[in-house]
Amino acid sequence: MGVRRVAMVSLHTSPLDQPGTGDAGGMNVYVIELAKRLAALGTEVDIFTRATSSAQEPVVQASDGVLVRHIHAGPFEGLTKAELPGQLCVFAREVLRAEAGHPVGHYDAVHSHYWLSGQVGALARDRWGVPLVHSMHTMAKVKNEALAEGDTPEPAARVIGEQQVVEAADLLVANTDLEAKQLINLYDADPGRVEVVHPGVDLDVFAPRDRAAVRSELGLPVDADVLLFAGRIQALKAPDVLVRAAAELVRRRPELRERLVVPVVGGPSGSGLEHPDALAGLVRELGLDDVVRFVPPVAQSELARWYAAATLVAVPSYNESFGLVAAEAQACGTPVVAAAVGGLTTVVRDGRSGLLVDSHDPVDWAASIDRVLRDAELLDTLREGARKQACVFSWESTAAATRAAYERAAHLMRA
């Protein structure tokens, strides 16, 4: 009969939230896009997430076959991600209660996203007698090994919680081969219970456009060198590295200032919430007010226009389990200059679809960016390679592989 219906758990952030601010980011895109593609294959999906507003409907139909269920657990506003473990019991109770209103066997599998959700998923697994598939998305041990300057280490409670989820899950879905190795080497995951499934890109939304036309629409000079950052403004994502690299570029080549534009599309998140104006302060300190433009988070269709308008997209993160921004940018035919960390080494083909930088030193970043700006032939090569590379990743393939993982998890399910 196969997998008819899946309960997805995304406790700390709703797939309906706008990516690019708060705790909303690539995982939000992942959950909703995967759910929609699973539904298209005939597997209905109920997504359980914590309600953050009294105005939210208890159940929202996100698309055909996909329901988002808002669970009341704790105050609607004011809870940080660090405070959410205190709401796990209430959230889990409400998830179990929601399922109890259906006939036995309503769900065929549980798919949890991030460790907090994994804790709830483990309870649901045991109560419902269905397999638990878990996606980490990020891992405390990996993050703590490569902390950005001034960032806060992940607490021991999260490390312990992640270890518990690894031990409870019937199958772990890793975004890349590297993440699979990290699960095995850092968390002692059973290699036979780790499946690599690459996330995808909506190749209809993220596609090449006429660069001059899009720049005109966005108010960007047609002949500008546009270096784009897209994502949450926090130390982990390192937008400051791009800003400092831009300052270095202007110092080296003063003539660049007249045509250099650095749009930062996104909002404060994580540790960035403690100092929401820190990046703007750095821009003023470096005298780049005429170069850097801050743009609030935008919808996917609008983000695609920013990618298409850019000369290149910078992804200087200290860690990325996959690097959805890099994949989306490449799908728009825009090369990526990215840190050689985590999943970015899988998403970006160095010298073919972009460049990988082995450090977070702004001088090194300025050199790599300048190499692309100076070499028109290299830029054309990277643009052509970017789209080809992105076409490797599609949500349809992700959904098909994930559904197969659910079926495999059912066979692997432990008593």
Q: Six-digit token pair at 321?
A: 């389990």
Binding site annotation covers 237?
Answer: yes
Binding site annotation covers 318?
Answer: no
Spell out the residues 6+ positions from residue 268 whose beta carbon is closer than 8 angstroms to its own: 21, 232, 233, 234, 276
Sign of torsion over alpha carbons 292, 293, 294, 299: negative
The three-state DSSP-derived secondary structure of the chain is: CCCCEEEEECCCCCCCCCCCECCECHHHHHHHHHHHHHHHCCCEEEEEEECCCCCCCCEEEEECCEEEEEECCCCCCCCCHHHHHHHHHHHHHHHHHHHHCCCCCCCCEEEEECHHHHHHHHHHHHHHCCCEEEECCCCHHHHHHCCCCCCCCCCHHHHHHHHHHHHHCCEEEECCHHHHHHHHHHHCCCHHHEEECCCCECCCCCCCCCHHHHHHHHCCCCCCEEEEEECCECHHHCHHHHHHHHHHHHHHCHHHHHCEEEEEECCECHHHHHCCCHHHHHHHHCCCCCCEEEECCCCHHHHHHHHHHCCEEEECCCCCCCCHHHHHHHHCCCCEEEECCCCHHHHCCECCCEEEECCCCHHHHHHHHHHHHHCHHHHHHHHHHHHHHHCCCEHHHHHHHHHHHHHHHHHHCCC
Binding site annotation covers 144?
Answer: no
Distances (CA, A) of 193 to 117, 130, 251, 276, 327: 19, 16, 51, 41, 27
AA identity, residue 79 = L
Binding site annotation covers 27?
Answer: yes
Binding site annotation covers 49?
Answer: no
Binding site annotation covers 232?
Answer: yes
Binding site annotation covers 298?
Answer: yes
Backbone φ and ψ of 314, nearest 5°: -100, 130
Backbone φ and ψ of 212, nearest 5°: -65, -40
Binding site annotation covers 258?
Answer: no
Binding site annotation covers 328?
Answer: yes
Binding site annotation covers 30?
Answer: no
Binding site annotation covers 388?
Answer: no
Binding site annotation covers 18?
Answer: yes
Binding site annotation covers 81?
Answer: yes
Is the separation of the CB atoms in 232 and 20 below 8 Å? yes
Binding site annotation covers 136?
Answer: no
Is the separation of the CB atoms in 173 and 197 below 8 Å? yes
Binding site annotation covers 138?
Answer: yes
Instruction: Give the residue numbers of the binding site for Mg(2+).
Output: 307, 310, 334
Instruction: Give the residue numbers of the binding site.
Output: 12, 18-19, 23-28, 81, 114, 138, 158, 232, 237, 298, 307, 310, 320, 328, 334
Instruction: Give the residue numbers of the binding site for UDP-N-acetyl-alpha-D-glucosamine.
Output: 18-19, 26, 232, 237, 298, 320, 328
Instruction: Give the residue numbers of the binding site for 1D-myo-inositol 3-phosphate.
Output: 12, 23-28, 81, 114, 138, 158
